[in-house]
Amino acid sequence: MGKLEIRVARSSDEADLHSALGPDIPIEQIRARLDEAESGHRMMLVALVDQRAIATASWQLLMEDESPLVRLFALDVGERFRRRGIARSLVAEVETEAVQHGASGVFLEVAVDNLAAISLYEKLGYVQDGEPFVNEWTRRSNAGPETVRELSVLMRKPVLPA
């Protein structure tokens, strides 16, 4: 594998993300993420191999009990590029952003049957918080938006100030 680089997503990453993440992630979903990032509703990172975007993660700074926290979401690594530490690097980058933005921790929601992701987060020090709940999100495809309901758990990790 070529050298790994992580940077903020650009709208010009759309085609590379589509070729790496499709068909699991429809092009409409990728476009919606890039549009939200452009309009400032989310921060979106991409991981590049040989200068092509092949993985992505998004984050938002939120307030919880007056304390800033980072929500990590939409972590996807192209199937051909998995098990090479790319998700680990993207999560580490989001944690660095959390520290730089004065957040006390990072949290995420993960489906209870997503054993690969749960194993990744546990390895990185995330701990389940509370009971499973039904998480709802909108999946976009050429068939239009569809509400997905997944039994999920919240996982958290504190980050230390710089």
Ligand X SMILES: CC(C)(COP(=O)(O)OP(=O)(O)OC[C@H]1O[C@@H](n2cnc3c(N)ncnc32)[C@H](O)[C@@H]1OP(=O)(O)O)[C@@H](O)C(=O)NCCC(=O)NCCS
Contacting positions for ligand X (CB under 6 A) = 75-77, 82-88, 110, 114, 116-117, 119-120, 123
* Residue (41 or 82) nearer to ligand X, CB: 82
* Residue (67 or 69) nearer to ligand X, CB: 69
Shortest approach of ligand X to residue 136 CB, angstroms?
15
Shortest approach of ligand X to residue 121 CB, angstroms?
8
Which residues are within 8 A (CB) of 119 and not within 5 positions of it... i.e. 6 or more apart? none
Burial of 50 (0-12, 13-18, 19+ CB in 10 A): exposed
* Residue (83 or 149) nearer to ligand X, CB: 83
Shortest approach of ligand X to residue 17 CB, angstroms?
12
Which residues are within 8 A (CB) of 51 and not within 5 positions of it... i.e. 6 or more apart? 5
Shortest approach of ligand X to residue 54 CB, angstroms?
10
Helix (H, G, I), strand (E, B) or coil at 88: helix
* Residue (99 or 124) nearer to ligand X, CB: 124
Q: Across 78-126, where does the E strand assignment appear?
A: 105-111
Q: Is the dihedral of CA 113, 115, 117, 122 positive or negative?
A: positive
